Each structure stands twice: as C-alpha cells, then as structure tokens.
Structure 1
Amino acid sequence: MSLFVDVDYASINKYKEELCGDKVEVLRSDNSVIIVLADGLGSGVKANILSTLTSKIIGTMLSMGSTIEEAVETIASTLPVCKVRDLAYSTFSILQIYENGEAYLVEFDNPSAIKLKRGKFVPTDKQEREIEGKLIKESRFMMGPEDVIILITDGAIHAGVGECLNLGWQWENVKEYAERIYKKDMSVKSISNTLLSACDSLYAGKAGDDTTVVAVKVRNAQPVNVLIGPPLDKNLDSYVVDKFINQKGKKIICGGTTAQIVSKVTGREIITSFNYIDPSIPPTARIEGIDLTTEGVLTMYKALEHAKKYLNPDNLLQDFSGLNKEDGASKLAKLLLEESTEVNFLVGRAINPAHQNPDFPINLGMKLKLVNDMENHLKQLGKKVFVEYF
C-alpha cells in the first residue's frame, strides 16, 4: 500500500512587518512529495522576495525534471552573500518523501529537522559536502506510517530572546516540546499550530523574527467514500448503492433520502437519533457498516464552513478542536479534512425541491456547488478527490 504524506505549515511575521520573510512550497507528483522551506535574510519585503525567489527556483527546477542535487547546486552557487554579515541571503531546507517511505533531506543553514518516531526523537545520519563554498547537509532515511518530521526556521530557536528567555528557545527545547505535545492521532495542523503558538507566546506576541513551522506526517492510505443524494434515474439505485458499499475505506452517507435508499437496497435498518448536539445541525443516524450517516445539504454546508476556517491562513494560532465535536458536520469535516487521504464522492443528481429551484440548470444546484467547493478545499490539502455523478 502506498503512503500518503500530510503537510501543514504556519508562520508568524516579525513584529510590525506585513510580509513574512519565510516561504514554503509543497510540490506533489505521482510518486513523491517535495517540501521546500526558505528563510530570507532579515525581514519584511526584502526577505520575502529572497525566500520566494529561493523556493520558486527550487520548485520550478524540480517540477521541470531536475534532481534535488541539481537544484541544491544551482541555489547554492547563485545565492548572493551579504557583504556585511557574510551570510547567504536565503537559507533553505528541502525534504522529499517517496510513496514507499524513502526520504531525502537537504539542509543549508536552517535549524536541523526534528524527526519523531512514535513521538520520540530519532537522529538521522548526515553527510556534509561543500558546493560553491557553501556547506550542505544531506540525509537519506526511511519513514514509516505515523512518523513525523518538523522543519523550522531560526525564528523558532530564537523565540523568547529579550522577553521570557535570555538566550531564546534552543533547538533542544523545541525538540523536547515536540516530543511532549505529540499524540498518535494528532494532525499536522495541530502540530504546526501548537509549536508556532508556543513560539508566539515566548515572543509575548511580538515576534523578533519571522517564524515558520512545517509539520510532515506519513500515513497509510485512508480512502473515504461519500454518497450524497439519490440518483437522477431511480433504476440506478441498486447499482449506485452496491458500488458505494463495495468500495474500500470508510463510508459516509449524506442525506435522509439517500440513507433510505441504502437501507432499502441493503436491508439494513436506519437507527435515527433525536439528540440535537448543536441546534443548528440536524442529528445523525446509524446504519450497520456505515461510518457516518448525516442529513444532506445543511450538514455539508456546515462541514464546508469548517473547511474554510481550517484552510484560512488568517486563522493561525486558532484552536481547531471543534472538529472533535459530536455533531454531524464536525464529524463529517474531521473525516474529510484530517482522516482521509483520498475522497470518492458519489453524487446523485435528483433535485430536492426543498433545496433547489427546478427551473435552474442542475449544475447550479446547491448540492453540486457544495460538493465542488469541498472538492477544491480537499485538493488544497493534497488529497486525491474523485467525483462521479449519477
């Protein structure tokens, strides 16, 4: 089974700066994921331009078929050096993870990556070599399911300087904190946000440097299948339900009519619930063999609100524990946003008079719009999404 690489990153700008001097690029291909973290010298516009230039050059070269070695050599040989500080104008880390778990890490003047296995730090063997007078550190290793790698910029190991700590939060402190907060089911967003929140607290909300945390987690593939809405042709009910039931992975039914069709075709009873955990969200139901059964359009709309908040870069340092609530929309959002690695939507095109205007073309229907929006959000998280209409 191929592995899925979950990636999330979060940044805080240096106090009073509008732009961040750190830049992250994530490139996904058929057989690997490449993460580039660049840190421009200084802060503000200049640093932002330099880090963007660095990450874009590396990303462009890799997307055009160049090897990471060639990209590193190009960057190391072309980056200018500050005459005053004798430092490269941008440092960087590059991490490539293949679908079989093979990983390749390149570091140039960024703090060392933190690799966790079952929540405990595991050192990686590093080889040093000089390219155009610049010292590059390389590591090759294997990653298995639930292994985590955290990439940071030097803003993280300077956190607290002049505020809470004399010398700042040292690399050892970051590593120990990462070990302490780790939980088996912790999402990459929780890891990156928790670490960044700690840095922000040490800076007392006035960061002395741009600070970025990138969390990377390797997971086994977890398909999630969503059946939403009855087919346009009732003669397809049995075909669609059989297709849905026989798919690998977790199964979600959205819609009361859809649930009734599944119950009729499979002979499995619907056990309804009248427990309104959230008055604004319809209660869920239970069907044997189905992981989640919810109401349709309204629940998907509320789940989409979760997704928008989850992906909104302005929501940094916020608590996303709302996904752990017991209402149908929160459960649906958690399954799609955090637990899935691949999502298969089976979408029925029958019009529900309660939600749609029959005079409008079917592609303007609320249900299809919600599915399309959710598909786009999931793709932003790097998930494979397939949509089939009936």
Structure 2
Amino acid sequence: MKNIVKIDTYSACIPQFQEEFCKDRMKIIRNELGVTAILAGGENGGARANLLTSFAVRMMETMGGGGVSVAHIANMLVESQPSGRQAENGNNIGFTLILARFDGHIYVEQFGTPDVIFLRRGKPVTIKTAGRVLQGKTIRSTELTAKQADTVIAVGSGMLNAGADRNLKDGWSLRNIQTYMENAYHPGMSAEEPVRLLLAAGESLSFGRPKSDLSALAFRIEPSASLRRRGAPDVARQVVL
C-alpha cells in the first residue's frame, strides 16, 4: 500500500473531580496500514461499564493491531454489551473508533459518543453518517478521504457537560466545540494542540471541578510531501493529565 499521508495522533484525559484516574479509556496503535484509536467510556461509570471499557480497549488493541476492520470491532463491542435491566442500570459504554490509513482513507465507528469533528484546513466539513442497527443499538459509520490538511477530533460525553454550572444551560455543545476548534486552528497545528486546548477549556468551564471525565482524541493528517517540508512528526501519543 502506498503511503500518501502522514498521521499525527494524540489523546488525553482529565479525571472527574476528586478521582485519581479517568474512567474514560483511550488507546492508540499503529501498524503497517495506519493508525487506529479508541475513546471509550461508561455512560454512568458503573462497575460493569468500567469492565466493558477496559475490555473494549483490549479488544481494539488486539484486533486493530492485527488489521481487523473497525466496523467488525464496533459490531463485537456492541454485541458484548448488556441488554434489558443491566443496560438500564447504566452498564452500557459508548465508544469512538477511528482508523486513519496511510493511503488517505479514514474510517469512523461510533456508538453513544458525540459525533466527531472534521476540519479541513481549519474549516468545518459536514460529514455523512450511515447508521446500522445491531441488537437494537445504532452504530454510526463515517468514511472520509484525507485530501489536504485534515483534523479529526473526538471527545468523550463528559466534555459536553462542561459549562453546565455556568451560563451554558445545556453545557458545552458540540457546535460550540467545533467553533472553538475552528478559531484556534493554525496551519502548523499538531494533534496535541487541539486536545490540550479542549481539556483546558473544559476544565475552566467546570471551575476546575469537572463532574465527568474530560477526554479528547485528535488525528492530524496531511499529505506526506507537505509534512516533509515542515518536518511534522509521524507519531502516536497518549497521556493522562
């Protein structure tokens, strides 16, 4: 497969106030096809949801590293989730799976998480999403093709709760986050910058006491030639703040 793009990936999380660790889990892996990443979190942080979140990350790491499609991984993750009363008790998890291939194709699979934000040279691009129903649950799928300087941003559900205690009655909406990212964009932006900006803003809006984990994941994708000219990194990085 011809490598036509360079991929810079970064993820980070700030735990809920008075918690030492994040319940949201993220993982980034790289193989000869490209970079695959997952952001997963329990809806209400139940014990079963926490176990499923860890399971989701391990499954992605094992199967994604072996080249299994993200659509197949998404199906298996949904099939592994409880139904009936167990699901009603907040034991389901939401996840965003992203595969960015070195040939420029990008695949996104989501269940129960905010839609990804797609910026092309800093400008929001409307993306088409197809839904498929599996065991009564809808998985959202998106296919994109990297053409210029593209950025894909995913956030955990907790990010939308930031600002709920301020004048933002409904929290920090996805549209507000998209506008914030558009205004912050600059041509040399790495994958790390939008993640750190989002977490800092979310923590500030929460008065430093977030009621949920604040998590974000970003892919920065550019044609190989342009990246070689400016010496951008080809790396995958993950931290917990």
Scaled to the shorter chain, the TM-score interval is 0.7 to 0.9
Count of residue pairs brought into register by the alignment: 235
What's the secondary structure of 2:85's corresponding residue? coil
Cα deviation for residue 15 of structure 1 reads: 0.7
User: CA separation of 1:166/1:340 partners in 2, compared to 1, >3 Å: closer, same or farther?
Assistant: closer
Cα deviation for residue 164 of structure 1 reads: 4.5
Cα separation, 2, equivalents of 1:82 and 1:176: 38
One-letter amino acid of the structure 2 residue matched with residue 53 of structure 1? F
Taking structure 1 as the reference length, the TM-score comes to 0.56
Which of 96, 100, 106 is matched with 1:97 structurally? 100
Aligned: 1:189 with 2:82: no
Which of 141, 149, 153 is matched with 1:138 structurally? 141
Cα deviation for residue 48 of structure 1 reads: 4.3
User: CA separation of 1:340/1:160 partners in 2, compared to 1, >3 Å: closer, same or farther?
Assistant: closer
Which of structures 1 and 2 has the bigger CA Rg? 1
**Deviations 1:223-248 (Å, cap 9, x if unpaired)?**
99xxxxxxxxxxxxxxxxxxxxxxxx
What's the secondary structure of 1:124's corresponding residue? coil
What's the secondary structure of 1:339's corresponding residue? coil
One-letter amino acid of the structure 1 residue matched with residue 36 of structure 2? I
What's the secondary structure of 1:219's corresponding residue? strand
User: CA separation of 1:125/1:187 partners in 2, compared to 1, >3 Å: closer, same or farther?
Assistant: same
Cα separation, 2, equivalents of 1:69 and 1:53: 17
Cα deviation for residue 49 of structure 1 reads: 3.5
Which residue does 1:55 correspond to in 2? Answer: 57
Runs of 5+ consecutive residues of structure 2 not aligned to the other structure: none
What's the secondary structure of 1:129's corresponding residue? strand
Contact 1:21 1:44 in 2 (8 A): no
Which residue does 2:74 correspond to in 1? Answer: 72
Contact 1:33 1:98 in 2 (8 A): yes
Which of 30, 33, 37 is matched with 1:31 structurally? 33
What's the secondary structure of 2:172's corresponding residue? coil
Higher relative CO (Cα under 8 Å, sequence separation at least 6) belongs to: 2
Show the 5 A alignment for 1:110-129.
110-129=113-132
Runs of 5+ consecutive residues of structure 1 not aligned to the other structure: 225-248, 251-334, 342-378, 383-390
**Deviations 1:63-88 (Å, cap 9, x if unpaired)?**
23433232122111111247376255
Cα deviation for residue 380 of structure 1 reads: 6.0
Contact 2:82 2:91 in 1 (8 A): yes
Cα separation, 1, equivalents of 2:121 and 2:138: 31
Aligned: 1:40 with 2:42: yes
Which of 110, 115, 133 is matched with 1:107 structurally? 110
One-letter amino acid of the structure 1 residue matched with residue 66 of structure 2? M
Contact 2:52 2:81 in 1 (8 A): no
One-letter amino acid of the structure 2 residue matched with residue 135 of structure 1? T
User: CA separation of 1:380/1:187 partners in 2, compared to 1, >3 Å: closer, same or farther?
Assistant: closer
Which of 172, 189, 206 is matched with 1:203 structurally? 206
Contact 1:20 1:48 in 2 (8 A): no
Cα separation, 2, equivalents of 1:19 and 1:95: 24
Cα separation, 1, equivalents of 2:17 and 2:221: 33
What's the secondary structure of 1:130's corresponding residue? strand
Cα deviation for residue 165 of structure 1 reads: 2.6
Which residue does 1:221 correspond to in 2? Answer: 224
User: CA separation of 1:16/1:134 partners in 2, compared to 1, >3 Å: closer, same or farther?
Assistant: same
**Deviations 1:13-65 (Å, cap 9, x if unpaired)?**
11111121111111111121111111123348765443222121122122234
Contact 1:43 1:209 in 2 (8 A): no
Cα separation, 2, equivalents of 1:11 and 1:381: 12
Contact 2:99 2:106 in 1 (8 A): yes
Contact 1:82 1:89 in 2 (8 A): no
**Deviations 1:264-322 (Å, cap 9, x if unpaired)?**
xxxxxxxxxxxxxxxxxxxxxxxxxxxxxxxxxxxxxxxxxxxxxxxxxxxxxxxxxxx
User: CA separation of 1:131/1:180 partners in 2, compared to 1, >3 Å: closer, same or farther?
Assistant: same
Aligned: 1:174 with 2:180: no
Cα separation, 1, equivalents of 2:128 and 2:206: 32
Give percent identity, aligned residues only.
24
Taking structure 2 as the reference length, the TM-score comes to 0.87
One-letter amino acid of the structure 1 residue matched with residue 118 of structure 2? K
